Structure formats: C-alpha cells, structure tokens
Structure 1
Amino acid sequence: MKLAVPTREGVVDEHFGHCDHYTIYEIEGDSLGQASRLDSPQGCGCKSNIASVLADMGVTVMLAGNIGQGAVNVLSQNGIQVIRGCRGPVFELASAYLAGKVEDQPILCDHHNCGNH
C-alpha cells in the first residue's frame, strides 16, 4: 500500500490542486517506508493526470488538506481514498494515519482559480 500527501515545504499543502509536490510513502507492515517525491503537474489538480499517475504508482490513500469535490471524484474513480482536512508536517501526519489517528473531515475547497471545478 502507498499513501500520498500534497506537500509544500515539508507540510501538507492547504490547496491540493496547487501543491509543490506529492510525498509518497510505501507502507511496510505497520510502518512507513522510505518517502519519495513526485513533482506536481502544472495547473489544477482535478484537471491534470495526477490521479491516474498516482494510481499507476500504487497509491491507494491521499491525505489532503483542502480539496475540491472534482478532485475527490477523480481520485476516487482511480481507486484512491481521500482523507480530507489534514494538516501539519507530512511525516507526522503519515505516522498518525498509520496509528489510526487521522479521520476524514468533510472540508472541501470552495475557492477556485483554475476554472471548471
């Protein structure tokens, strides 16, 4: 299993569609494996091919901050569960998720600069 976190400067980016990159962790048993980085494509997340790229990499969970319903739908259609309302340092968040301490918070992004959400 792999999980991804939209990242900017080591913390969860508050806006999924405009993050600097995705931090991807492989889950090894009940611990985090080595983190890898996937640069974010240009433009809005829900209009890019990021969902299929992440799915092809084996990502099944997205730990996100604010995220629009369009992006949630596209990620879900690609077999990626979205956990919304996440904050803080990426490693601490991923560790908390593994410990069962992260729950979905139905907070959706409602400001858009990238058209047709």
Structure 2
Amino acid sequence: MKIALPIVNGKLSLHFGHCQSFALVEADKNSREIKETEYTQPPPHEPGVLPKWLHDLGAELIIAGGMGQRAQKLFNDNNIEVIVGAESDTPENVVKEYLNNTLTTGSNLCDH
C-alpha cells in the first residue's frame, strides 16, 4: 500500500495545508515492512487539488496531524483513507507505528 504524509522540516506536518513536501511511503501491510520512501513537491495548495493529485500517485491512506473536514471529505471522495491527530515524527516512524497498530492519535489539530 502507498501511504502519503505531509512533511515540514523532515517530520509529519501538524497542519496538512502548511506542508513543504509529501512523503509517499510504499509499505507491505502483511509483513509490516517499509519498501520505499519517496519525497515529492505538491502542486500549489488549492481546495480539491491535493486529493486528486495524491490519488493519481497511488496513495491509499494519508496520515496527518490535522486536516479540515472538507479536505477529509475530498480525500474520502478520492478513495483515500484519512487518519488525523498523529504526532510529529519522521515519516518512517509514523508508518512503522501504523503498520504495527501502535500509532496513537489525538485531536484533529485543524479546526476548519
């Protein structure tokens, strides 16, 4: 599966819309292994652009610190599952926690 994470300064961005890049992590959910991590620059942040762009890149899941309700709906409309409330850490650590069912999430850090 391919997991997308918004990144700022090498770690998970706590606010989805303020990320500098995206980490696209290819992972095997059965073996719980990370196969590859690729960093890519997103297109300009405009409503509706990122969900389609990430869908076209093959993302099936996005993990973020915070994301507005409208953005979450747009991701769901593009068949991308959304997990919010994750803490800032490296993409590999966040994905390892997800794969091992130890990812702790708190409140959605975005309220719009």
TM-score normalised by L of structure 2: 0.87
Q: Which residue of 2 aligns with 1:36?
A: 38
Report percent identity of matched pairs.
28
Q: CA deviation at 1:77?
A: 0.4
CA contact (8 A) 2:48 2:71 kept: no
| In 1: Cα distance, 2:54 partner to 2:25 partner | 12
Which moved further from structure 2: 64-73 or 97-106? 97-106
Q: Which runs of 5+ in 2 are unaligned?
A: none
What is the number of equivalent residue pairs in this alignment?
Answer: 109
Q: Per the alignment, do residues 17 and 83 of structure 1 end up closer, same or farther by CA in structure 2, a change over 3 Å counting? A: same
Q: Which residue of 2 aligns with 1:52?
A: 52
What RMSD in Å do the two structures reach over aligned CA positions?
1.7
Measured against aligned partners, the alpha-carbon deviations of 1:50-79 in whole angstroms (never above 9, x if no partner) come to 111111221111010011001101001000
| In 2: Cα distance, 1:106 partner to 1:27 partner | 25
| In 2: Cα distance, 1:17 partner to 1:9 partner | 14
| In 1: Cα distance, 2:81 partner to 2:45 partner | 22
TM-score normalised by L of structure 1: 0.83
| In 1: Cα distance, 2:91 partner to 2:69 partner | 22
Q: Which residue of 1 aligns with 2:4?
A: 4
Q: Which residue of 2 aligns with 1:98?
A: 99
Q: Which residue of 2 aligns with 1:67?
A: 67
